[in-house]
Amino acid sequence: MEYTKDVIFRVQYGQDSKRKIQLLDRIMQKIKRHKLITVTIGMVVMLGVLDFVLLSSFIQILSGI
């Protein structure tokens, strides 16, 4: 009965760690293959965060005056 439930619901024990490892491997391969796009996206995110920090500090300085 347990076996039939596993077959019906397609339960696979111990496969989650393999899937996660395979997913991470695929992501790392894509990052290595598309270095320019990865660097560009990283720079856009970092500059966006820096912009937010600078604007918030500027607003705090203006509100103190």
**Cα separation, 27 vs 50, whole angstroms:** 26
The token pair at 51 is 């912009």
Does pLDDT of 45 surpass 90? yes
Q: What is the mean pLDDT of residues 27-56?
A: 95
CA angle (53, 39, 58) in 5-degree steps: 10
For residues 22, 25, 31, 32, the Cα torsion angle rounded to the nearest 10 degrees is -140
Three-class DSSP category at 12: coil
Tens of pLDDT, residues 1-28: 666 665 666 666 666 666 777 888 998 9
* Cα 15 from Cα 23, distance rounded (Å): 12
pLDDT band at 55 (very low <50, low <70, confident <90, very high): very high
pTM of the model as a whole = 0.57
For 39-51, what is the mean pLDDT?
97
